[in-house]
Amino acid sequence: MRIVVPVKFVPDIQSDRRFGAGGRVERTAADGTLNELDENAIEAALRLVEALGPEAQEASEVVVVTVGPAEADLALRKAYQLGAHRGIRVSDDALAGSDYFATAAVLAAAVRSVGDVDLVVTGMAALDGLGSVVPALLAADLGWPQLLLARRLDVSDGVASVTRELDGVTEELTAPLPVVVSVTDHVNTPRYPNFALIMAARTKEIEERSLADLGVDATTVGEAGARTRVLTAAPRPPREPAVVHVDKGEGGLALAAYLIDHRLV
């Protein structure tokens, strides 16, 4: 079984996240990390492989793919620490400023270049943009069925089945492989890296691909191909400090008075 997990290098949500030149999110090695929700996807992929018999496991691999600059290797190395077998970084100067559609198209080209892929497993969102739309677009670009927002994923006899959790709705879906699956943060608890994998991840090879390698026309991606453009990006003024009321037996009255005085009830 060959599984591709697309991952993203994002600013840590605890860090001071900001926009830089051209309305692009600043991603630096100092406060960048593997998108936390991608760990659930890596874990789900590893568990599918580990559930196979020894011979099938031997013939299986989990390939992590990222689109980004050299710093994005940090995300791939974190994936290696968790147990991913191969890592591919797609880098090209023309990619800067890519929109959802270009990102999905490049990932689809990368999946095709890996070849003989049974599943693509993604996280439910990237915690910087929170668009949650790339998995659907990737499935469409590949021409594969989509099974998205899975809180349960099983694969047997060439069929994937998921429990899909929406707001107020639970669905059970199946689809024949190959398929694109996105998993929620409720699907599993990602493992901690073990020492041997941490050591090996430092020097493990990362394969690099350019747009030309993948046969993607550079004018269709990046700023040139983007269907949206950022006009302005500005930090909001900090909030006024909170009115702090220490409860001495009338804290509830203070809360109610605040609501009433501000005409909020």
Restricting to residues 163-182, which ones interact with other proteins according to CB under 8 A?
165-176, 179
Cα distance between residue 146 and residue 256, in whole Å: 48
Q: Does 19 bind other proteins (CB under 8 A)?
A: yes
207 binds other proteins (CB under 8 A): no
Q: Which residues contact 54 (CB under 8 A, 6 or more apart)?
A: none
The residue behind tokens 């568990």 is 47
Amino acid at 183: V
Site string for other proteins, 112-131 (x = CB under 8 A): ------------xx-xxxxx
State in angstroms the smallest separation of the CB of 97 from other proteins. Answer: 12
Q: In 3-state terms, what secondary structure has residue 196?
A: helix
From 23, 69, 204, 208, residue interacting with other proteins (rule: CB under 8 A): 23
Task: With H, G, I as helix, E, B as strand and everything else as coil, classify residue 37.
Answer: helix
Residues 51-110 that bind other proteins (CB under 8 A): 99-101
Segment near other proteins (CB under 8 A); pick from 16-24, 27-35, 46-54, 114-122: 16-24
Tokens in use for 237?
A: 């003024």
With binding defined as CB under 8 A, does residue 239 bind other proteins?
yes
Look up residue 143 and give its DSSP letter: T
Q: Which is nearer to other proteins, 47 or 245 (CB)?
A: 245
Task: Check if the beta carbon of residue 139 is closer than 8 Å to that of residue 146.
Answer: yes
CA dist., res. 249 & res. 45, Å (int)? 53
CB of 17 to other proteins, least distance (A): 4
Q: Using CB under 8 A, count the residues that bind other proteins.
A: 80
Min dist CB 210 to other proteins, Å, is 24
| Choice from 31, 61, 71, 185 touching other proteins (CB under 8 A) | 185
CB of residue 201 to other proteins, shortest distance in Å: 26
User: Judged by CB under 8 A, does residue 202 bind other proteins?
Assistant: no
- Within 134-163, the residues that bind other proteins by CB under 8 A are 136-137, 140, 143-149, 161
Task: Count CB atoms within 10 A of the CB of residue 121.
Answer: 29
Q: Classify each residue of 94-115 as buried b or exposed e, where b means 16 or more C-beta atoms within 10 Å of its C-beta.
A: bbebbbbbbbbbbbbbbbebbe
Rounded Cα distance, 114 and 109, in Å? 9
Q: Decide: is 47 part of the binding site for other proteins (CB under 8 A).
A: no
